[in-house]
Amino acid sequence: MSAVTEATEAADLTAAELAGAYRAGRLSPVEVAEAVLARIERVDPALNAFCLVDAERAVEAARASADRWRRGEPLGPLDGVPVSIKDVLLTRGWPTLRGSRTIDPDGDWSQDAPSVARLREHGAVLVGKTTTPEYAWKGVTDGPLTGVTRNPWDPSRTPGGSSGGAAAAVAAGMAPLALGTDGGGSVRIPAAFTGTFTIKPTYGRVPHFPASPFGTLAHVGPMTRTVADAAVLLDAICGFDARDWSALEPPSASFADGPDDLRGLRVAFSPALGFARVDPQVAALVRAAAEAFAELGAEVEETDPGFADPVADFEVLWFAGAAKVVEHLDDERRAELDPGLREVCEQGARFTALRYLDATARRMELGLVMGRFHERYDLLLTPTVPIAAFEAGREAPPGSPSPRWTSWTPFTYPFNMTQQPAASLPCGFTAEGLPVGLQVVGPRHADARVLAACRAYERARPWHDRRPPVLDPPAKP
């Protein structure tokens, strides 16, 4: 096999496959880093998933990893595996601009976020930072600093957001692993739109610093092509960090361990949560996935959790957080913001403390509803997003009841309000060839149960070897 062929294939391997190849001596982390960097150079001009690529540091880290593997002393299964970092997470030596012109790139960039620090400790190869809408405020990925990010399955479509660059990078083989954040669906929406896997863990499972201006809505999560890779990445980033006062104790067992048997699980299937409108193609694919859970041994019952759409209360919490993000900016700097962000900041600044506390109380009531619901059901299945990916560069598709991204994401933000673990895994494609996601929600602290169920579905309905059209070889002249 030629070196060119090896390099081309190396960019498509999962993290688990790379660890096996390193252990057997079939591949070097340097070969893989170079393959991923070559993939970025070839594919990213069409997608705009990266806002920063540091080839020199990536190759340097890969060489150090290769030396550890040669000595038989790897730091773990992520040693030498390429990873991208969403540009809202501090990364030592690289500016974290959060998709905004209002942040000084020459600032003090001497700290890592907790999850990034854990990746370095495990020997991962950091290749660059991925795009995000300004301050990660919306469910698509475009903004005044980095422009429009596009979907590998159809570059005219959005990859979703706000972790859209991360999802596009994973789907297109521009690093098998990515770190994203999720305050209202921001890892799950792009996973659904790009045919990748993710889990928003229980709040506090992954330490977060600095604290998000969106408060306890925001989670850090792994973004990958397979459930197994997500479990290994989640293992790595759960380590303790004293800078996050709300962080949970690290888990006592690996998320990669344990049974992945659905037999006996009580699973609720809610096709619309009782209030959402769902595209017929999406509805049919998600229903088929729920039926597959039953075929695999789960006791599946169609039922709704019993809450009304909490969008008004979520928007109070989210828009007030956005207003807090930009409160230090003068009028001249505010004029540089994404116009949609300016609008929600102005709205958020008008909410009173009493209205915010009322939304918080409604949030607690929603948590109580879901806590009682999960006394009866081990898991809840829903669509991740009620539609397939729409035109890139828009906040909402034509016909949405409002111009805001919350108008088409009814299945994601409720479970940020309740802090529950929620995964999105591919469950099929529309007639146009666009991916559709199934959301798997568990009770708080049941991250391992959610991952195990997703692993069982993945084993029965594998998807990760289906690659997007953007990876097709260029046409010969």
Interval 417-437: pLDDT, tens: 999 999 999 999 999 999 999
- Shortest CA distance to 432 belongs to which of 392, 472, 390, 398? 390
Instruction: Give CA–CA dist 193/180, Å, rounded.
Output: 15
Q: Which pLDDT does position 461 carry in this prediction?
A: 95
Instruction: Give CA–CA dist 242/204, Å, rounded.
Output: 12
Q: Mean pLDDT across the chain, nearest whole number?
A: 96
Instruction: Give CA–CA dist 360/417, Å, rounded.
Output: 9
**Residue 7: count of CB within 10 angstroms of its CB:** 18
- Express each pLDDT in 319-337 by its tens digit: 999 999 999 999 999 999 9
Per annotation, catalytic residue among 65, 100, 115, 162: 162
Instruction: Give CA–CA dist 105/422, Å, rounded.
Output: 34
Q: What is the DSSP string of 81-103?
A: -EEEEETTS-BTTB---TT-TTS
86 catalytically annotated:
yes
CB of 266 closer than 8 Å to CB of 453:
no
212 phi, psi to nearest 5 deg:
-70, 140
Instruction: Give CA–CA dist 176/17, Å, rounded.
Output: 10
Residue that wins the pLDDT comparison between 258 and 403: 403
Write out the E strands in 22-114: 50-53, 82-86
- Shortest CA distance to 468 belongs to which of 199, 157, 251? 157
Q: How far is CA 183 from the centre of its chain?
A: 10
186 catalytically annotated:
yes
Looking at the predicted structure, is the pLDDT value of residue 5 above 60? no
Looking at the predicted structure, is the pLDDT value of residue 1 above 50? no
Q: Which pLDDT does position 4 carry in this prediction?
A: 32
Per annotation, catalytic residue among 28, 65, 84, 86: 86
Structure pTM? Answer: 0.97
Q: What is the DSSP string of 292-322?
A: HHHHTT-EEEE--------HHHHHHHHHHHH
- Express each pLDDT in 202-249 by its tens digit: 999 999 999 998 999 999 999 999 999 999 999 999 988 999 999 999
Rounded mean pLDDT, 183-194:
98
Q: pLDDT confidence of 260, banded at 50, 70, 90?
A: confident
* Residue 74: both structure tokens together: 């790897």
Per annotation, catalytic residue among 186, 212, 270, 424: 186
- Shortest CA distance to 383 belongs to which of 225, 192, 153, 199? 192
Looking at the predicted structure, is the pLDDT value of residue 316 above 80? yes
* Three-state SS annotation for 256-288: CCCCCCCCCCEEEECCCCCCCCCCHHHHHHHHH
Rounded mean pLDDT, 344-362:
98
Q: Which pLDDT does position 6 carry in this prediction?
A: 39
Query: pLDDT over 70 for what percent of the chain?
Result: 97
DSSP state of 217: G
CB of 359 closer than 8 Å to CB of 316:
yes
476 catalytically annotated:
no
CB of 238 closer than 8 Å to CB of 203:
no
How far separated are the first and last CA of the chain, in Å rounded?
Answer: 26
Q: Which pLDDT does position 464 carry in this prediction?
A: 83
> Going by C-beta distance under 8 Å and a sequence separation of 6 or more, which residues neighbour residue 379?
265, 266, 267, 268, 298, 440, 441, 442, 449, 450, 453
Q: All domains of the chain, ordered by start, with CATH?
A: 3-467 (3.90.1300.10)
Tell me the one-letter amino acid at 251.
Answer: P
